[in-house]
Structure 1
Amino acid sequence: MENILSKIAKLILIFLVATACRPEGKHLFILSGQSNMEGLIPEESFIPKVEAEFGAENVIVVKSAYGGQPIRRWFKDWKDPLEMGIQAQPDLYDTLLSKVNSAIIGQKIQTITLVWMQGERDAREGHADEYERSLVGLHGQLVEDLDFENINFVIGRLSDFDLENARYPHWTRIRDIQVQVAQSNGKFAWVDTDDLNDGLNRQGKEIQNDLHLSAQGYYILGERFAESAIHLIRSN
């Protein structure tokens, strides 16, 4: 009898210690980028998945995306690699940061994950030489502005739309950079989109290897982003 009571007491103690050590606060997910992020509807698949994992009361999702935009609309220190006089114009970052700050007023934040789907415009303009620095710099910019050191970073890699670099001359270079950056840090990850741009788009039109994703593709992308984010949160 004493042995059983001793075991029960130990289990209770373990439970109390685990509960006491459990981090508190909400999980903030920041979704940003250009058209393929704009086309993602978080309520379809991303939010249900992260809420199922952490609880609806423990999740904050902020999305701020604008089609056709280069990374210089987010990264403050962007430099024109072609020296054509183009300047950084980080107004979209300012908008994003304002939305985030409004969403977290009075909230205790346990983790932050930036989910990024962008790069098509930079590939089209031939700005790959500046993209790696900008991508890493954007993450660092958010770390500094939110005063939160350990921000996870999930990067959606450009699809197989233009693997010949025929229309977007730096398409494959941007793809490679996205993977390279994702593999450079244990808190970073990348998501494949090569199989998501075939089928019916949201207008009911049949597409194949399109610049934008199919209706089902956006749904799956939301799931993949959520799964990747969850994995980073649970493993760090």
Structure 2
Amino acid sequence: MRQKLPAILLIGFAFAASVVTTGRSEETKIPSKDNFHLFLLVGQSNMAGRGKVTPDDQVKAPKVLMLDQQGKWVPAVDPMHFDKPKMVGVGLGRTFGLEVSQSDPGVTIGLIPCAVGGSPIKSWEPGAWDAPTKSHPYDDAMKRAHRALEAGQLKGILWHQGESDSRAGQAEIYEQKLRELITRFRKELNAYDVPFIIGQLGMFEESPWTKSKKQVDQAHQEIAKSDEFVLFVSADGLTHKGDKVHFNAESYREFGKRYAKAFLEFKEKVSQN
């Protein structure tokens, strides 16, 4: 006959289980403000990430944190975003953070995930509502950014967006809209000397670019050419996960390395001037 466990042991087991299941949401100690370098992750689904998550993507790195949905600083593990919980997966943000962290062991990287899958650029205006996700992309991002800035210093804004605007009637005005968005971000966050890093739309053989998609790509590149604080990151050679829209996990990780390379080269250039 099986003996009943004492009540105190049952309570202890229950407590241990709660620690395991809620461990990810436990807040992490952060460094001084000068040594906490923040990066805002904004745009639509290819910034949020839709790649397949593996155990390696959930390994915690003590020097790379993220602001979770509750506004706590926790280890940056995929999936980082929460725009569409059933779809979100590996993105480029975590790899970017790891690469930048390795370049400067004296600082901690803080990632601020704010991307919203499917959001056109008009959703990234003050007061704009995104019905599918029941969110205000711009307003929500600003609230999270200002909360993060209480703890650290903004060092970069990572942007990947444009698929939803690659259509007639929207692509023609995309460049103007993006320039306005960049100006708005800089003013709101006092980020005039912070690089705004744009990732190129997916270049997939199975899905040739339309005229509208070419217009959006041209807008990305033209803004980067005309603004020394805007960087453009190529998506050449990256592949999709089978849907001809979203990168696969391996490509997201490579993209994160490319974003980091662009940022670190910019940082080196600034330090030499």
What TM-score results when the alignment is normalised by the length of structure 2?
A: 0.63
| Maintained 8 Å contact 2:125/2:181 | yes
Task: Work out the CA distance in 2 between the residues paired with 1:58 and 1:119.
Answer: 30
Instruction: Tell me which residue corresponds to 1:63.
Output: 113
Offset at residue 75 of structure 1 (A):
3.0
Give the number of aligned pairs: 189
> How far, CA to CA, are the matches of 1:38 and 1:125 in structure 2?
25
Q: 1:147 aligns with which of 179, 184, 190?
A: 190
Partner of 1:42 in structure 2?
93
Residue of structure 2 in register with 1:134 after alignment: 177
Match of 2:14 in 1: none
CA distance in structure 2 between the aligned counterparts of 1:125 and 1:75, rounded to whole angstroms:
20
Give the match's secondary structure for 2:216. helix
- Where does 1:17-166 land on structure 2 (aligned, <5 Å)? 26-39=36-49, 40-43=91-94, 45-55=95-105, 57-76=107-126, 89=129, 91-107=136-152, 109=153, 112-124=155-167, 126-161=169-204, 162-165=207-210
Q: Percent identity?
A: 27
**Which runs of no fewer than 5 residues in structure 1 stay unpaired?**
1-23, 77-86, 202-206
Q: 1:220 — aligned with what?
A: 254
CA contact (8 A) 1:28 1:112 kept: yes
- Cα shift at 1:57: 3.3
1:55 CA displacement: 2.8
Residue type of the alignment partner of 2:267: I
Q: CA deviation at 1:144?
A: 0.8
Deviations 1:107-153 (A, max 9, x none): 3x2x5211100000000364112211111111111111112321211
Partner of residue 62, structure 2: none
| Cα distance change of structure 1 residues 26 and 41 upon mapping to structure 2, 3 Å threshold | same
Distance in 1 separating the partners of 2:226 and 2:101:
28
The whole-number CA distance in structure 2 between the counterparts of 1:147 and 1:135 is 18
Instruction: Indicate whether 1:184 and 2:194 are aligned.
Output: no
In 2, the alpha carbon distance for the partners of 1:197 and 1:56 equals 34
What is the CA-CA distance between 1:56 and the residue it aligns to?
6.3
Give the Cα–Cα distance (whole angstroms) in 2 for the partners of residues 164 and 59 of structure 1: 35
The normalised TM-score by structure 1 is 0.72
Alpha-carbon distance between aligned partners in 2 of 1:187 and 1:55, rounded to the nearest angstrom: 25
Q: Secondary structure at the match of 1:138?
A: helix
Alignment gaps of 5+ in structure 2: 1-33, 50-90, 131-135
Q: CA deviation at 1:29?
A: 1.2
Deviation at residue 106 of structure 1 after TM alignment: 4.0
Counterpart CA distance in 1 for 2:116 and 2:215 is: 22
Q: Which residue identity is paired with 2:155?
A: I
- Counterpart of 1:178 in structure 2: which amino acid? H
Work out whether residues 119 and 164 of structure 2, in 8 Å CA contact, stay in contact via their aligned partners in 1: yes
